[in-house]
Amino acid sequence: MTTNLAPLSTPEAVRAAVRAFLDENLDPDISLRAWLDRLVDAGWASPQWPTEWFGKGLSGDLAAAAFDEFRKARAPGPPGGLGRMLAAPTIIAHGSDEQRRRYVRAILIGDEAWCQLFSEPGAGSDLASLQARAEPDGDEFVVNGQKVWTSGAIGADLGMLLARTDVDAPKHRGITYFALEMDQPGVEVRPLKQITGDAMFAEVFFTDARVPAANIIGDRNGGWAVAMTTLMNERVGLGAGTALNFGISAPGGRRVLPQLEQSVGEYVARAGSTVVAAASAGAMVGRGIDSLLELARSRGRGDDPQVRHQLARLYTLTKLNGWNGIRATAAAKAGKGPGPEASIGKLMVSNIVRQWRETGMAITGGDGMLAGTDGPLDGGVARQLLFAPGPAIYGGSDQVQRNIIAERVLGLPKEPDVSRNVPFRELKVGTQTKPAE
Ligand SMILES: Cc1cc2nc3c(=O)[nH]c(=O)nc-3n(C[C@H](O)[C@H](O)[C@H](O)COP(=O)(O)OP(=O)(O)OC[C@H]3O[C@@H](n4cnc5c(N)ncnc54)[C@H](O)[C@@H]3O)c2cc1C
């Protein structure tokens, strides 16, 4: 092991430590799995996590310096996806030590992929109205109900399930957070095809699905507080874009396992730029300004005032979001948890993604609609044209982020919610029925 390195208290020290780690460990001939083992065990896969749970306890800015060094070396990071962004930090915050041991490493190493089973047909922004039920049965719970918009459900090994466990309590207080095994007879995943042609999300139906009581994360009926941790991490993750991201774009689990057997060298050669940018909208934004500048130049559109105007807007929004990220980092350094900056960042990303779409279309005109490798940026302009409305909805819609900013930053009164203290069973919420195939 490397010795004589300075304590990891400055970006320079962190960068030096990463470089030393890379010198000793990044070997193009070892398998991706062997490399991830080294990365995870050394605490570099997610250095902002606590030292006892696979991290190095680094603040956000120091972790960003580490990621930057890994990106420069084109070193594959841990698989992306909702396990790493949401499940692991939630389990670290609220799970038992046994649960942390059981789940966190498996996420980082790519063995298990997770999906987020929160939204339902009648519970999106008003998530606390969710109706999926989990009834106790011995040392298990039996789950019935429906989720929708579940990103990555196809191929997920586990789900972060919010289910109602006490209908006599008010809606926020009778919810429990479970780690649910997806591969079981009571769980049916039906893909939903999007305008992009992909089926990135699905409907998930539970018919007497089972989950052990030991898989409750946090307290029984205390799932709302646990869900808030997940949602805060979602806002931060989606708002940060690439800043805290390096890694394999696939989410891990069943679909990625075969990839882990190839050598690091093979993987990097094949994956190209996706090695260093997770496939999130934020990552698209992170790469976007450079790729669009190049596109404008290559098409002789760099002098067009319209195009220049759009590019300048995109640059400005991206810079502003970067500064917002620095503000969030400073708040974290001062010992404050993720705060309203997360909502501002999330809102900014919606704007940036829309601006990216406008800029791409201003440069390419009708060509921008060409999908597949024939289209500009290998179809990236067309993809973004169709995908751009998404970020303003997922992870809490733009309107909901504005509510959070209004209440928590501007100190405006909370939205009235007359149902807040009423037992859930007395609320008039629709009942879920499973449509025929
Ligand atoms: C691409 C994509 C991926 C997703 N992935 C997942 C996932 O993996 N797991 C998951 O659980 N969910 C996922 N979602 C669901 C997402 O979280 C919900 O769509 C979102 O919370 C909005 O809920 P809704 O669709 O029910 O809309 P609604 O809540 O019904 O909202 C409809 C409209 O009313 C507005 N509105 C609602 N309440 C308020 C209010 N209080 N103040 C002001 N305006 C309001 C909304 O902003 C929106 O414009 C995903 C969504 C998308 C688009």
Annotate 303-336 with DSSP letters as a single string: T-HHHHHHHHHHHHHHHHHHHHHHHHHHHHHTT-
Roughly how many angstroms between the first and final C-alpha of the chain, as a whole number? 57
Pairing of strands 114-117, 158-164: parallel
Question: Which residue owns the Cα nearest ligand 1 atom 37?
Answer: 125
- Tell me if 172 sits within 8 A of 128, measured CB to CB: yes
**CA 121 to ligand 1: nearest atom:** 26
Which residue type is seen at 291?
Answer: S
Q: How far is the CA of 163 from the centre of ligand 1 (A)?
A: 18
- Tell me if 301 sits within 8 A of 216, measured CB to CB: no
**CA 126 to ligand 1: nearest atom:** 29
CA–CA gap between residue 8 and residue 42 (Å, rounded): 14
**CA 153 to ligand 1: nearest atom:** 8
**CA 393 to ligand 1: nearest atom:** 53
CA–CA gap between residue 44 and residue 241 (Å, rounded): 19
Q: Which of 112, 120, 203, 234 is catalytic?
A: 234
Question: Which residue owns the Cα nearest ligand 1 atom 25?
Answer: 124
Half-sphere exposure (Cβ direction) of 202: Cα atoms closer than 13 Å: 18
Chain mean position to CA 437: 30
CA–CA gap between residue 278 and residue 403 (Å, rounded): 29
Three-state DSSP at 432 gives coil
- Tell me if 398 sits within 8 A of 350, measured CB to CB: yes
- Tell me if 402 sits within 8 A of 392, measured CB to CB: no
Q: How far is the CA of 343 from the centre of ligand 1 (A)?
A: 15
Question: Which residue owns the Cα nearest ligand 1 atom 16?
Answer: 394
- Retrieve residue 341's tokens: 């900056």
pLDDT at 423: 92
- Tell me if 207 sits within 8 A of 316, measured CB to CB: no
CB-CB neighbours of 207 under 10 Å? 14
Q: How far is the CA of 80 from the centre of ligand 1 (A)?
A: 22
| Pocket-forming residues, ligand 1, beta carbon under 6 Å | 115-116, 118-119, 124-125, 149-151, 201, 390, 393-394, 396-397, 399-400, 403, 415
pLDDT at 431: 54
pLDDT at 278: 35
Residues in the chain with pLDDT < 70? Answer: 1-6, 240-256, 271-288, 332-333, 335, 337-338, 430-437
Q: What is the pTM of this model?
A: 0.90
CA–CA gap between residue 322 and residue 328 (Å, rounded): 10
Residue 273 burial (10 A CB sphere; 0-12, 13-18, 19+): exposed
Which residue type is seen at 321?
Answer: N
Query: Active site includes 234?
Result: yes
- Tell me if 131 sits within 8 A of 123, measured CB to CB: yes
Half-sphere exposure (Cβ direction) of 344: Cα atoms closer than 13 Å: 21
Cross-strand pairs, 144? 133
Question: Which residue owns the Cα nearest ligand 1 atom 23?
Answer: 124
Q: Which of 394, 398, 403, 405 to mutate to test the pocket of ligand 1 (most atoms within 8 A of CB)?
A: 394
CB-CB neighbours of 5 under 10 Å? 14
| Cα distances (Å, whole numbers) of residue 36 to 20, 107, 264, 302, 403 | 16, 11, 10, 42, 40
pLDDT at 270: 75
Largest CA distance in the chain: 71
CA–CA gap between residue 301 and residue 296 (Å, rounded): 5
- 60 Cβ contact partners less than 8 Å away, ≥ 6 residues apart: 48, 244, 328, 329, 332, 333
- Tell me if 65 sits within 8 A of 11, measured CB to CB: yes
